[in-house]
Amino acid sequence: MKIRTPAELWNARYAEPFASYGTEPNDYLRTVAERIPAGPVLCLAEGEGRNAVYLAGRGHQVTAVDLSDVGLANARELAAQHGVTIDTVVADLTTYDFGNSQWAGIISIWAHTPSAMRPGLHAACVRALRPGGVFVLEAYTPRQLDRPGVGGPPDPDALPTPAELRRDLPGLRLEHCAEVDREITEGKYHHGPSTTVQILAIKPESGAPQR
């Protein structure tokens, strides 16, 4: 049997009846969106676009990056339905050029990546944020493995802990970094009691970050 690439696997997921993870924005993003300053926003592993469309509706110029061209086509359709425009880029986060001091916000919602990849990815996020820019993350933690079938990847290596993420983000002031138990209702694949890590972090305007 041919082994499918990650892009092929996600294209198959997003070829299912729309939308695999719902059309409403992530709950945590909604609660902290007002903290993102005016300016361009980058959404990582954005899939079918629900978070990007929400932020575009708040006035941000949004770029959505994902491996799946099928998912991003769905994202553009969702944006059109809401009367907003988003930019979409089909790319692997390991090779995507985040830029330097470019983004007012970077959003990482369920962007689960192997542990070896995370430090470099998050270092790129820190460099790419403007001074005063905001980094928002929610991801399932290893405790989610006790709840099979509810959501999140089955591979523990893809599930970060708060301590690991703290180590990954020097250069940002962490205003919130906590593991939480909460109910999630996001389409077919995220549904039920869940354990996640949530982060709200700011790139200081000047001086050393306060941890």
Tens-place pLDDT, residues 146-196 = 988 889 999 999 999 999 999 999 999 999 999 999 999 998 889 899 999
Distance of alpha carbon 18 from alpha carbon 37, whole angstroms: 31
What pLDDT does residue 149 have? 86
Structure tokens at 36: 């993102």
pLDDT at 144: 95
Tokens at 57, concatenated: 């509706």
The identity of residue 48, as a single letter, is E
Q: Does the residue 134 lie in any domain? A: no
In a domain, 42, yes or no: yes
Note whether residue 170 is domain-resident.
Answer: yes
Q: Is residue 66 part of a domain?
A: no
Q: Which domain holds residue 43?
A: 23-60+71-79
The number of distinct structural domains making up the chain is 2
pLDDT number for residue 210: 45
Q: Evaluate whether residue 95 is within a structural domain.
A: no
> Which residue stretches of the chain have pLDDT < 50?
208-211
Q: Is residue 186 part of a domain?
A: yes
Q: Quick one: pLDDT at residue 1? A: 56
Residue 16 domain flag: no
Contact 117, 90 (CB under 8 A): no
- Tell me whether residue 92 is in a domain: no
Q: Parallel, antiparallel, or unpaired for β 103-109 and 87-90?
A: unpaired
